[in-house]
Chain A
Amino acid sequence: MTTSPITRKRVRGGVGDSPLRIDGIPKVTGNFAYASDLYADGMLWAATLRSPHARARITKLDTAPAYAVGGVVLVLTQEDVVGRPGFGMHVPDQPVFADGECNYWGEPIAVVVASDLPTAKLGVEAIDVEFEELEPLTDMEEADARDSQTRRMKIRRGDRDVEGAVVVEGYYEVGQQDQAPLGNEAGLAIPDGDGGVDLYAVSQWVHSDHWQIYPCLDIEPEQVRCHPVGMGGAFGAREDVSMHIHLCMAALRTGRPIKMMYDRAESFVGHVHRHPARMWYRHEADNQGRLVKVEARLILDGGAYESSSNAVIANAAYFAVGPYRCDNVFVDAVAAKTNNPPAGAMRGFGGVQTAFAHESQMDKLAAELGLDPLEIRLRNALGRGDALNTSGQLIEGSLPTAELINELDAMPLAEPLDSDDARHLPGGTGLTTDPRHVRRGVGYGVTLKNLAFSEAFDDYSDVRIVLSPIGVEVYTAAAEVGQGMVTIIQQLAREVLQIEQVAVVWADTGVIGSAGSTSASRQTQMTGGATHQCAIELREQILAEFGGDDLSGEGVWKDGELIVTLHEVCESGPREHEIRYRHPETFATDENGQGDAHPAWAVAAHRAVVDVDPELGLVRVVQIDAVHDVGRLLNPVAALGQIEGGTLQGVGLATLEELVLDRGVIKNANFTDYLLPTFLDAPHVEVKWVEEPERWGPLGAKGIGEPPTISAGPAVAAAIRNAIGADLIRVPILPQHIVGA
């Protein structure tokens, strides 16, 4: 035993710090390997034939001409699927390849494997395919009328006969947003020579991919191993299977590594999008502005296959009223099934759509009553101890809505416009606008989002920690999509174990259990929580074994003296501990949507300041003041990055971004016409935190990924309305809407 007076080193990079990302250096030097950069000796390339029609019967599908192209080695169609014919996040309703009928524009029909990508594309062109076009169902209301849907949700809470002194009604629309992660879908499948396959493809949740893939291949689960891989963003676009089954099939059939890489145009149909929505609302309040009753009808267009529509529509319904107290709530929500491209997960996940509507309604109520927009929100602010307005669930955890609103109100307002530089004016470098044409507007968005998975889903994250004299390894299958999960895991492990050297090992499905999806703002709480809990348990085991009272990189301490070195602790090998971390149990709601469906929520409060050129309908979003409910701030730089980035995606939805569909065909599947905000479109964002710890999760921390995207859009829309003094019922708000308002 060591008893020398060794001083304990202070551990850097723990909780509250903002240590540099370990993937930061390879990312700034271009050396980081993304899925699209992967390479294997002897690899072949594959390309996809997709439906040119929103709905059609395949009357002829002859692959022989593709085989006649020199270099083509294999063509796969639905006939080649040996196992379960379909896949899906929730139900396996989407065939691996179109099965006699195409149900959306861009649906995969065949995959051609060839020596290189250009040859594979030539093979795709060579396939002899003929269609009988069928009338597509592309209108969500028509689909609803025909009962073409994947889920209906009903909220029936309170008394429908109650009446308020003030009534406002509104109809609202949200256009279809694309996640547009900069990295397109890409992947590499490598056969193991023993009938199995290793898959390295973009994914927010490798275990979900795994569960969807192996039944289609008709092989044992352990014969497919899905590996976490570097990816250029996600935002929901990587939650569903895209090329994954195709890659595995091709690798198993050819015995060669197979690479696929969608280009941008293909990416627009290669992943699901945000659900577009139509929403009818009626709010009733007393003459103090307190909500008495909210009624809503919601239709979200889920497109051709279910994906995660079942959960998206539930979120839309549960968060239809926002973070406000109300005892009488009636919502009818439906996820329509159409021949539009499938919709699924995108940052905000159902909450974005209804947030735009309920915040528009709150502003209408405020105007009707002559109340300040923040005042009416404050009077209704939902908090701990209240019942969630829709499901009736008692809010036991943290929900500091009122604090956020007060903090937001206290933030200084952006300076008045004081520049004639075009870069500070609506229209930007297009020089459309002089300062005299500009009217300023201010608007608010206060919104609510559930954290982690709801409605009785068995939501867990597995983490294994291995402690050796050289440091700590944390094994997880959690997807790092850019958000900085890797750093949070390190910080939490350091904080507990007081050992600075922490490596995160991205483990495949064969090595560790599921971490759940990197979505639903859940990984900081779930995999962060798992890391934190696992580290605590490992530390306690070691302390108990050696009779110490503290652990650090030096070893075990007692009463300030080092009693065992780390080497000695690990004398018989590395110390390992693995746990499965779960959040508080949730439940399915009843037929009226009543029950304890959610483990936690986060609220966000945004104020947008915009400058508008009403005559031309041009908008510059000047500043967003954002107050966020973070529970406990683990990494200020990472949290700020999530908020600024999430905010800009909300600004994008409010002012620019929409997939334009014509009878199911996307007309702007490219970055020339699907417009993402540029540097000059990005507002200045001021951020404040409210730290009210959650009842579970690491040190009370809450997820932060989605709330900023949900709040920013309604705030910008309200600010534009405020500037022009007219109603706007649809996002994105385009110049022609403002001019016509």
Chain B
Amino acid sequence: MIVSFTVNGEERIANVSGPESLLTVLREELGLPGSKNACEQGECGSCAVVLDGAVVTSCLVMAADCEGSEVTTVEGIGSDRELHAVQQALLDHGAVQCGFCTPGFVVTAAHLFEENPHPSSDEIKEALSGNICRCTGYGAIARALEELAEGTA
């Protein structure tokens, strides 16, 4: 079946044959591999996208149910030339190691800062408690986002 929806501001059409996830369609059909497939059960946050205004794990969204939806992926958050403040902060603080979790952190944190420009340290950690990072121990991610929270006017 044909599913039409908006991805990163562009009208996109996907040919969906079964119950596959939005994540699969983004990665395998729409050429947007930035969202990562790490657990495919909503337990790591690596595939986080904004779907109709809320951050969800795209592995648990049925692509066929996205008709008419609006999706923002990590590719829609910032570009190599113009990084989002969250991306810049993560980069500056050495919060990226293997980087596999990073797109999910970027999407989730960017949404958090949009809703709450000055989250407390505890709020940052809780908002990102669905995003697993196996490399950093979260320390550098915390420092990056705490500094951003203090600095955002």
Contacts and interface: CB of A to CB of B under 8 A. Distances in A.
Interface of A: 18, 20-21, 23-34, 36-37, 118, 180-184, 231-235, 261, 263-264, 421, 423-424, 429, 481-484, 637-638, 640-641, 643-649, 670-672, 676, 678-680, 682, 684-685
B80 interface: yes
Contact of A671 (B44, B79, B98, B138): B44
Given A29-B87, A264-B39, A679 B134 contact: no
Nearest to B127: A679
Contact of A678 (B103, B106, B132): B132
Contacts of B128: 679
A182 B34 contact: no
Interface in B71-106: 73-75, 77-80, 83, 87-88, 90-94, 96-103, 106
A632 B99 CA distance: 26
A33 B40 CA distance: 19
Best-surrounded residue of A29, A31, A235 (most CB of chain B within 10 A): A29
A30 B35 contact: yes
Contacts of A481: 98
B37 A184 contact: yes
B91 A233 contact: no
B94 A637 contact: yes
A474 to B, nearest CB: 20
Interface of B: 18, 20, 27, 32-41, 43-44, 46, 73-75, 77-80, 83, 87-88, 90-94, 96-103, 106, 122, 124-126, 128-142
Contacts of A645: 97, 134-137
A643 B140 CA distance: 11
Contacts of B122: 421, 423-424
B51 to A, nearest CB: 16
A33 B27 CA distance: 12
8 contacts: A20-B91, A24-B96, A26-B80, A28-B106, A180-B134, A183-B100, A233-B97, A679-B141
Contact of B74 (A29, A34, A180, A682): A29
A508 B83 CA distance: 32
Best-surrounded residue of B74, B79, B94, B139 (most CB of chain A within 10 A): B94
B97 A30 contact: no
Given A182-B134, A680-B126, A685-B137, 12 more contacts: A30-B75, A36-B33, A232-B100, A232-B101, A233-B135, A637-B140, A641-B94, A641-B140, A644-B140, A647-B137, A682-B137, A685-B139
A182 B43 contact: no
B137 A644 contact: yes
A5 to B, nearest CB: 36
Contact of A648 (B37, B46, B137): B137
A421 B123 CA distance: 11
Contact of A29 (B38, B44, B75, B94): B75
Given A118-B18, A679-B125, A28 B98 contact: no
Nearest to B82: A29
Contact of A640 (B20, B41, B140): B140
Contact of B135 (A18, A482, A640): A482
A649 B134 CA distance: 8
A684 B133 CA distance: 15
B97 A482 contact: yes
Contacts of B43: 670-672
Contacts of A261: 37
Contacts of B20: 118
The 6 residue pairs across chains A and B that have the minimum distance between CB atoms: A30-B34, A482-B98, A232-B100, A27-B99, A644-B137, A648-B137
A29 B139 contact: no
A73 to B, nearest CB: 19
Contacts of A264: 38-41
A32 B139 CA distance: 23
A671 B101 CA distance: 14
Contact of B33 (A37, A263, A680): A37
A30 B74 contact: yes
Contacts of A638: 94
Contact of A429 (B106, B126, B133, B134): B126
Contacts of B91: 20-21, 24-25, 28
Contacts of A637: 93-94, 140
A622 to B, nearest CB: 14
A581 B134 CA distance: 31
Contacts of A483: 97, 135
A232 B36 contact: yes
A30 B98 contact: no
B5 to A, nearest CB: 19
B125 A28 contact: no
Given A34-B100, A680-B129, A182 B38 contact: yes
A212 B129 CA distance: 40
A233 B134 contact: yes
B57 to A, nearest CB: 11
B34 A671 contact: no
Contacts of A235: 134
B133 to A, nearest CB: 8
Given A25-B80, A182-B44, A233-B134, A644 B90 contact: no
A641 B129 contact: no
A21 B96 contact: yes
Contacts of B131: 679
A300 to B, nearest CB: 23
A364 to B, nearest CB: 29
Nearest to B124: A679
B10 to A, nearest CB: 16
Contacts of A23: 96, 99
A181 B134 contact: yes
A640 B94 contact: yes
B124 to A, nearest CB: 8
Contacts of B142: 679, 682
Contacts of A18: 94
Contacts of B97: 233, 482-484, 641, 645
Nearest to B33: A37
Nearest to A687: B139
Nearest to B86: A28
Nearest to A639: B94
A680 B131 CA distance: 11
Contacts of A678: 129-130, 132
B120 to A, nearest CB: 10
B140 to A, nearest CB: 6
A183 B137 contact: no
B94 A671 contact: no
Contact of B83 (A25, A421, A646): A25
Contacts of B79: 29
Contact of B96 (A27, A183, A644, A649): A27
A641 B33 contact: no
Contacts of A33: 33
A180 B134 CA distance: 7
